[in-house]
A and B are shown apart, each in its own frame.
Chain A
Amino acid sequence: MASSSSSSLSRVVVKSSDNNLFVVNKKVASQSQLLKQCIDNMEEKGTNDVILIPLSNVTSNILTLVLEYCEKHADFADDDNNNQELKQWDHEFLKKFDYATLNSLTMAADYMVTKSLLNLCCQFIADSIKDLTVQQIRQIFDIKNDFTPQEEADIKNENAWAFR
């Protein structure tokens, strides 16, 4: 214990909702504000024990993805945000997911307060839904049309050009 008395942890253990344990390097974990705050709290108390952080909302497969993202971004942490290589990597990273995975990943990013991943996911979703029809949007977000035909016609009339 005395040898590591600098009161800083090098690793944390994160537990997924299905009880799998992930050993995570501190620099990687710090990409998530939720994990970072846990670590900071523990360091303030001066503990040298490895801490366990349970994430009751994130499954192993999603957590693996979040950590993959955090690992990549931790490598570039000192670089500026405009790094082309990282942007390219981000794009490739998201491209391979279906809506369901993207959905879970976005919510995990929100829950774990990983702002850059949340931004990335939301921008990706926005880009992929922007050209859809109203009907398709209702389907994807599982929304019921609660307008009367008259109300619908009014909105259409007000903004006729956008529906052309």
Chain B
Amino acid sequence: MDINLKPNSIKMAEKKAKSGTVNGDNLSGDVSHKTLEFVDHLITEEILPRLPVKSLIRFKLVCKRWNSTISSSEFVKLHLKFSSLNNQNRHFIIYPDDEKFYGKQNLDSYGLLPYRECSNIRDLVWVDGGVGDVDWYHIVGSSNGLVCLYQRDDDEDERHCFFTLWNPATGEDRDISSPDGVHVSEAHGFGYVPSLDDYLIVACFGSGTVDGSTFRGFYVFSVKVGKWERIFGCFHYLQTSRWRWKWKRVRARADEECIAKELERQAVLVGDTMYWASEFFVGKKSIVGFHVVTKELNWQCGYWSLELFQVKGCLSLFGYRKNDVSDFWTLKNPNDWSSWQKILSVDINVVPLITFSETGKCLVRQSKEFKLVDPCKEALECTKGNGAEFRRRLVIRDHVESLISPLGITKSDEKEVNSGNSNYLATNSMLLENKG
């Protein structure tokens, strides 16, 4: 064998060796070692971020260094990144509106169904918290471990409506009252907006479909800023004739109200845009988009009936056609409405489809079993049963376990800002932000 020792490669290897502060003795493989002797960066950047939230909260007690690491916002973001990639931390959060779904009477708590190829109704975990003692509530959205709820409590004189931001994993929650305390929100959405690095609630207050209150406008709540802002958006709509499509710009105030009245309750956030299904033309569903950065409303029509999803970062819709066949479409390019692509067609009277996950998989239910099916690989028709009976009554969202605080800023952040501590995870989280 011709062994040629090249100084360059050795230099590189040695340089590498120095950059990690590895002590050669630790690598002896001596079986008498009872402890794990890792360099700090392996613990803080590779091992701790892979732990479940409950373990991390307990491990704050290990020592001061672990406590400050786990509490730092950089770590919270890093943990979220790992958590999103690990299906063990992924769930579906279910709002129980139908006891038939669970075979259980008590419907006062939310259920978490693990994201697994196969699971059983017994695997549902009930979570306490989040819900106050109110008359009525539902899930607005779920993003990065934060769940946004809308709750309504009526007393003799008036109706109290408020939003709640809740992290089921840490148990932290926070109520957010409506702008002037009295308005009812009829259509709303919640999510993380990467370009603003902020969590937003967009709500359309007093659209007047239930209690006859007048339209009060679109509002945006920023978790970072901590308050509501009235949005006077301008809006455009796509006029479709048989021959051409053209954008028309319309006076905001007058038409905003017309649009607001027709919005369906829940919006889906994709990128910087909150999308609602709506029925602006009788018998024909449209999609209304509200761009949270430019504050523009856009709408697009042409479907009979539809439900919206965010799947793999794309706006997707599930629309019904005649004969109970439904199509699932995905918008490949958010700026090009001709990039709608049909993913599948399915008859929900035959296939027990529950929902589409953000990961692109479909959740189906057969009797007491749940299955995740990749519609691109397996034919959905292999699963038999009636999905329609469950789907109509269910609010179900993807949910990833995280340490993100509904308060927007963690206690340790305040301390760090005050003491001016430099942070060893800063580079990591910056990379993350750039990616986002």
Residues of A within 8 A of B (CB): 13, 17, 21, 23, 34, 37-38, 41-42, 47, 49-59, 61-62, 98-104, 106-108, 110-111, 113, 118, 122-123, 125-127, 129-131, 133-134, 137-147, 152, 155-156, 159, 161-163
Contact = CB atoms under 8 A, between A and B. Distances in A.
Given A49-B6, A61-B29, 20 more contacts: A47-B4, A51-B9, A52-B4, A57-B20, A57-B27, A99-B33, A99-B36, A100-B32, A107-B38, A111-B20, A122-B42, A122-B47, A122-B50, A125-B36, A125-B47, A127-B50, A129-B47, A139-B34, A143-B66, A144-B63
A42 B27 contact: no
B43 interface: yes
A147 B64 contact: yes
B57 A159 contact: yes
B9 A53 contact: yes
B6 A51 contact: yes
A99 B34 contact: yes
A108 B42 CA distance: 12
Interface in B60-114: 60-64, 66-67, 86
A8 B92 CA distance: 50
Contact of B61 (A41, A62, A147): A147
11 contacts: A49-B6, A56-B24, A99-B35, A104-B27, A107-B20, A111-B17, A125-B47, A126-B47, A139-B34, A152-B61, A161-B171
Interface of B: 1-6, 8-10, 12-14, 16-17, 20, 22, 24, 26-39, 42-43, 46-48, 50-52, 54-55, 57-64, 66-67, 86, 170-171
Contact of A100 (B33, B48, B55, B170): B33
Given A52-B4, A101-B29, A107-B22, A34 B63 contact: no
B173 to A, nearest CB: 12
A53 B8 CA distance: 10
A37 B6 CA distance: 14
Given A118-B46, A122-B50, A159-B60, A103 B9 contact: no
Nearest to A105: B29
Contacts of A21: 3
Contact of A52 (B5, B12, B16): B5
B313 to A, nearest CB: 19
Contact of A122 (B14, B46, B66): B46
A107 B39 contact: yes
The secondary structure that dominates the A interface is helix
A107 to B, nearest CB: 6
B12 A41 contact: yes
B97 to A, nearest CB: 27
B17 A57 contact: yes
Contacts of A49: 2, 4, 6
Nearest to B59: A137
Contacts of A147: 61, 63-64, 67
B182 to A, nearest CB: 34
Contacts of A17: 24, 27
A162 B403 CA distance: 13
A50 to B, nearest CB: 5
Contact of A146 (B6, B52, B63): B63
Contacts of A111: 16-17, 20, 22
Contacts of B55: 129-131
A140 B2 CA distance: 45
A134 B5 contact: no
Contact of A38 (B9, B37, B61, B67): B9
A159 B58 CA distance: 8
Contact of B36 (A37, A62, A140, A152): A140
Contacts of B9: 38, 41-42, 51-53
Contacts of B47: 122, 125-126, 129
Contacts of B61: 134, 147, 152, 155-156
Nearest to A21: B3
A155 B55 CA distance: 14
Contacts of A127: 50
A42 B6 contact: yes
Contacts of A129: 47, 51, 55
Contacts of B17: 56-57, 111
Contact of B1 (A13, A56, A134): A13
A62 B27 contact: yes
A122 B78 CA distance: 15
Contacts of B16: 34, 111, 113
Contact of B35 (A41, A56, A122, A139): A139
B12 A57 contact: no
A50, A101, A141: residue with the most chain B Cβ atoms closer than 10 Å: A141
A122 B47 CA distance: 5
